[in-house]
Amino acid sequence: MPIFPELRTAVRVETQNPWPRFLVDIASWRLAGAELAAGRWTLLGLWGEADTVHMAVLRGQNEAIGVLSLPCADRRFPALGARHTPAIRLERAAQDLFGLVAEGLPDARPWLDHGAWGVRAPLGRAEPVAEAAAPYPFLPAEGGALHQVAVGPVHAGIIEPGHFRFHADGETVVRLEERFGYTHKGTEALMRGADLARAARLAGRVSGDSTVAFTLAFARAAEAALGLAPPPRAVWLRALMAELERLANHLGDVGAICNDASFAIMNAHCAVLRERVLRAAAVAFGHRLMMDRVAVGGVATDLDATGAAAITAVVAAVRQRFPRLVELYDNTASLQDRVVGTGRLDPALARQFGCGGFVGRASGRDFDARRWPGYPPYGDLRFDVPVRAEGDVNARVWIRIGEIEASLGLIEQLLAGLPAGELRAPAAFGAEAEGVALVEGFRGDILAWVRLNADGTVARCHLRDPSWFHWPVLEAAVDGNIVADFPLCNKSFNCAYSGHDL
């Protein structure tokens, strides 16, 4: 039986690994839209090329992953967003970057293009235009004594830039609308023509807090395209770095969430633990954030005994200190008052948007790319994937607490079972090839799709941050909360700006 029996007229593209890509006609594209709208499929990503639009989908409950490509010579395609809301921002971005037209898109405003590039459709026909920042009409809210609060792009804290437009009735938020694109750096354009090393460096700078996960996603996609198997030691070292990254981010964020509820002592203690993890990473791999340590075909750095000892020591320190902080979190009534019931994300929305990571898992969506579709070495390791159903700030904190414990266990297993051997397999080029990968970063699943030229340079690469499906539901989760709880809700999601804007 075919993996996508719905797509009767589709033509399979033979050059893509490991999951199939199908060239489809408009009827099949619409059919896919209907499957998404009906909730039988989940959208994993949507991106463009000059005359083609692609979507990656997850069929059923973890049955299959596939990429559907609709050639659109006239640069028009039927918008999925007309029936499937999660596609809207992705289609707005595809319109901005490729000059494609999503016909019937309910929201036709530009998304990443603020009129400041001096070029229209930079990844499509790249027509020079005069810089003209057009006014951006925010969605209205109507009613009695509503007022607007405009926040950003420069925020009060040390965080990334973005704009939040609140409509509030007294203290209560009646509508939050986000506007992004401020950190758009044209990464996908810089990827075109880049060799694998340069492209990996760019992937590692899509979102600095997820540099290991993004480089790993890019490397796995490129390796799938090249039929390249990294040596076992490299596979295990990559997982070790990925779990250290997850641990550091979760530790920092648990403290920062409490700090946004004015409970500074948690932040102080969690920041100390995070710092210890980063220092161990620097000893072990030569860089605190482990940037540029994952490479296509393996890793760029080995782990020696000193590094392994530093990691063992930090795992012991977190195991000793963190449980007491969890107890403090759980037993502080004033803090619980702020986090319980705040910023609730409806499980139905989490399912519809295919929310990954702790955001999805705190709202009942039991998905973790390490477990399914899975990638080595996680099949050889034991770890729990915590899931809760409440969907509030508290649930997201508890998922992160659970994931900290899971990562500690994984790091211990990775150190104990680390195979000896080579660090890198050499790549051999020769033909155009495509690869796709799904990697679990600390925020959730990162999708990487890459097409390589015959000489091994990148023809096209698309990297989809988990935040594409988190930011829109944050707007819904904040609804009806007080304005003062927005930082708390926002931090509990901790979506990426740079990862989203790319």
Cα distance between residue 343 and residue 340, in whole Å: 9
Cα distance between residue 277 and residue 287, in whole Å: 11
- HSE-up (13 A, CA, CB side) for residue 321: 17
Q: Token digits for 343? A: 């910023």
Between residue 221 and residue 260, which ones bind another protein under the rule CB under 8 A?
Answer: 252
Which region among 151-159, 397-405, 416-424, 455-463 touches another protein (by CB under 8 A)?
A: 151-159
At closest approach, how far in Å is the CB of 121 from another protein?
Answer: 11
What track of x and - describes contact with another protein for positions 266 through 295 (by CB under 8 A)?
Answer: --xx-xx-xx--x---x-----xx-x----
- Give me the helices (H) in 260-390, please: 264-285, 305-331, 333-339, 347-353, 357-361
At closest approach, how far in Å is the CB of 475 from another protein?
Answer: 21
Between residue 469 and residue 498, which ones bind another protein under the rule CB under 8 A?
Answer: 496-498
Tell me which amino acid residue 476 is: A
Residue placing its CB nearer to another protein in the complex, 57 or 258: 258
Cα distance between residue 9 and residue 11, in whole Å: 7
Cα distance between residue 462 and residue 291, in whole Å: 19
**β-pairing verdict for 298-299 and 294-295:** antiparallel
Residue placing its CB nearer to another protein in the complex, 13 or 268: 268
Which region among 153-161, 297-305, 395-403, 479-487 touches another protein (by CB under 8 A)?
A: 153-161
Contact with another protein (CB under 8 A): which of 35, 91, 160, 368? Answer: 160
At closest approach, how far in Å is the CB of 442 from another protein?
Answer: 12
At closest approach, how far in Å is the CB of 460 from another protein?
Answer: 16
User: Rule CB under 8 A: is residue 161 a binding residue for another protein?
Assistant: yes
Pick the closest to residue 381 from 403, 414, 420, 419 (CA basis).
Answer: 414
Residue 332: count other Cβ atoms within 10 Å of its Cβ.
17
Pick the closest to residue 389 from 344, 433, 428 (CA basis).
Answer: 344
- The residue with tokens 């449980």 is 323
Between residue 187 and residue 226, which ones bind another protein under the rule CB under 8 A?
Answer: 187, 189-190, 198, 201-202, 205-209, 211
- The residue with tokens 């710092």 is 275
Contact with another protein (CB under 8 A): which of 8, 76, 147, 185? Answer: 185
Percent helix, percent strand, percent coil in the chain, to nearest 5: 45, 20, 40
Residue placing its CB nearer to another protein in the complex, 27 or 154: 154
Distances in Å between the Cα of 37 and the Cα atoms of 34, 366, 381 are: 5, 20, 36
Residue by residue, DSSP assigns 177-191 as EEE--TT---HHHHH
Residue placing its CB nearer to another protein in the complex, 73 or 156: 156
User: Rule CB under 8 A: is residue 157 a binding residue for another protein?
Assistant: yes
Residue placing its CB nearer to another protein in the complex, 38 or 264: 264
Pick the closest to residue 470 from 355, 390, 324 (CA basis).
Answer: 355
At closest approach, how far in Å is the CB of 82 from another protein?
Answer: 27
Tell me which amino acid residue 462 is: H
Residue placing its CB nearer to another protein in the complex, 252 or 297: 252
Distances in Å between the Cα of 473 and the Cα atoms of 185, 346, 415, 490 are: 24, 9, 38, 11
Residue placing its CB nearer to another protein in the complex, 17 or 211: 211
At closest approach, how far in Å is the CB of 109 from another protein?
Answer: 15
Which region among 84-92, 186-194, 226-234, 338-346 touches another protein (by CB under 8 A)?
A: 186-194
At closest approach, how far in Å is the CB of 21 from another protein?
Answer: 28
At closest approach, how far in Å is the CB of 79 from another protein?
Answer: 24
Tell me which amino acid residue 282 is: A
Secondary structure (3-state) at 251? helix
At closest approach, how far in Å is the CB of 374 from another protein?
Answer: 28
Distances in Å between the Cα of 67 and the Cα atoms of 44, 297, 404, 412 are: 9, 24, 33, 36
Between residue 88 and residue 147, which ones bind another protein under the rule CB under 8 A?
Answer: 112, 114, 116-119, 122, 126, 131, 133
User: Rule CB under 8 A: is residue 156 a binding residue for another protein?
Assistant: yes
User: Rule CB under 8 A: is residue 328 a binding residue for another protein?
Assistant: yes
Cα distance between residue 384 and residue 371, in whole Å: 10
At closest approach, how far in Å is the CB of 310 from another protein?
Answer: 15
Residues in the interface with another protein (CB under 8 A) total 58
Give the footprint of another protein on this chain (CB under 8 A).
112, 114, 116-119, 122, 126, 131, 133, 153-154, 156-161, 181-187, 189-190, 198, 201-202, 205-209, 211, 252, 265, 268-269, 271-272, 274-275, 278, 282, 288-289, 291, 324-325, 328, 331-332, 496-498, 501
